[in-house]
Amino acid sequence: MAAAFSWIRPEPWGLHVVPADFWIDPARPVDSALVTHGHADHARGGHGLTIATPETLAIMGVRYGVAEGAQAALYGERVPLGNGVHATFVSAGHVLGSAQILLEHAGERIVVTGDYKRAADPTCMPFAVTPCDLFVTEATFGLPVFKHPPIEQEIARLLEARRANPDRAILVGAYALGKAQRLIAELRRAGHNEPIYLHGAMERMCRLYEELGVPLGDLQLVAGMPKGALAGQIVVCPPSALNDRWSRRLPEPINAMASGWMQVRQRARQKNVELPLVISDHADWQALTDTIAEVNPAETWITHGREEALLRWCQLGQRRARALALVGYEDEDD
């Protein structure tokens, strides 16, 4: 008897859909790729054919320039890949355009989640639970210790720090794709309607989100602003700018950072973060285990993060599971 799901094969640089010769989020250039979302560890340039959602293709266009061989797949559209394999992109709730990929072949259904979260996010479509035989889940925060608080609580802490420090700028490090826009949209939802200031590196992705229908309110560039005008203002920058010379143009900035890793105190200290905001675009432990239970697949493959604890959890629950060792996935996004 052939091994179950032998038509999808984990290789070190990605998942290979063998009969159609497609790769999912390959870490090196291939002829035919399916890309779950625009983060750099999933979306790379240089493939012959790239199938992704229109939003992901637009994000890749901003990052890599317009690619030859880009083919858009709408959420829910069943795309033939050849040799009896079909792919359907299903929303993953991670960042704008992010998708799980449902593969169907020979009567079997495989869902590859890419990165995902279950918490609500005003900047993207929610995760859709999709029944399948094999569920390939990410495990970035796959330890019971990881628990992401409600985002409203973290936004309230940020606004409170601003109120308490009218003479200082609040400088928030956030990844340029997804985290920055979610942070801004949540500040708007909390009633913060004043201008939010951006490091130049954040501008293009914020504009693209707005073009794709995600309103972010009044955004201004820090460049050219007199230092004093930024007292009491919220400034969003890439995490790498928190501790570089660039931040000296701000009045006594309070360094904040929006990341799931901010739950780890040592990480916050390392990055000199005074105001750690635990805001993640991934599922935490509870959401990972709830999702596996809800999808209830015959088999689960675990990849992209801390695989051992989730593997053990599956085994204790009599769930068939296996940890994959794929390379090239670093948390650009968290």
Residue with smaller CB distance to Zn ion, 307 or 333: 333
Q: Which of 121, 186, 307, 333 is close enough to bind Zn ion by CB under 5 A? A: 333
Question: Least distance to Zn ion from the beta carbon of 137, Å?
Answer: 12
Question: Least distance to Zn ion from the beta carbon of 37, Å?
Answer: 6
Rounded to a whole number of angstroms, the CA Rg of the chain reads 20
Q: Does 39 bind Zn ion (CB under 5 A)?
A: yes
Question: Least distance to Zn ion from the beta carbon of 278, Å?
Answer: 17
Q: Can you tell me whether residue 147 is helix, strand or coil?
A: coil
Q: Which stretch binds Zn ion (CB under 5 A): 60-68, 111-119, 233-241, 269-277?
A: 111-119
Question: Least distance to Zn ion from the beta carbon of 331, Å?
Answer: 6
The residue written with tokens 């088999």 in the block is: 299
User: Starting at the edge strand that comes first in sequence, how are the strands of the sheet with 78-82 ordered?
Assistant: 78-82, 85-91, 99-105, 108-112, 134-139, 299-305, 320-323
Q: Does 307 bind Zn ion (CB under 5 A)?
A: no
Question: Least distance to Zn ion from the beta carbon of 130, Å?
Answer: 18
CA 268, 330, 310, 150 dihedral sign is positive
Q: Which of 55, 115, 121, 307 is close enough to bind Zn ion by CB under 5 A? A: 115
Question: Least distance to Zn ion from the beta carbon of 41, Å?
Answer: 5
Nearest-angstrom CA–CA distance, 209 and 121: 13
Question: Least distance to Zn ion from the beta carbon of 84, Å?
Answer: 29
Residue with smaller CB distance to Zn ion, 284 or 333: 333
CA dihedral 200, 205, 210, 213 (to 10 degrees): -170
Residue with smaller CB distance to Zn ion, 39 or 148: 39
**How many other C-beta atoms can be found within 10 angstroms of the C-beta atom of residue 207?**
14
Tokens of 20: 């159609």
Binding to Zn ion (CB under 5 A) within 227-266 occurs at none
Residue with smaller CB distance to Zn ion, 2 or 325: 325
Q: Can you tell me whether residue 290 is helix, strand or coil?
A: helix
Residue with smaller CB distance to Zn ion, 41 or 274: 41
Q: Which stretch binds Zn ion (CB under 5 A): 114-122, 164-172, 192-200, 227-235?
A: 114-122
Residue with smaller CB distance to Zn ion, 55 or 115: 115
Nearest-angstrom CA–CA distance, 23 and 48: 11
Q: Which stretch binds Zn ion (CB under 5 A): 115-123, 161-169, 182-190, 234-242?
A: 115-123
Long-range CB pairs of 152-159, under 8 A, 24+ apart, other chains included: 152/186, 152/190, 154/258, 154/277, 154/278, 154/279, 155/183, 155/186, 155/187, 155/189, 155/190, 156/190, 157/275, 157/277, 158/187, 158/234, 158/256, 158/275, 158/277, 159/187, 159/190, 159/192
The pattern of x and - marking residues 53 through 72 that bind Zn ion according to CB under 5 A reads --------------------
Q: What residue ranges bind Zn ion (CB under 5 A)? A: 39, 41, 115, 333
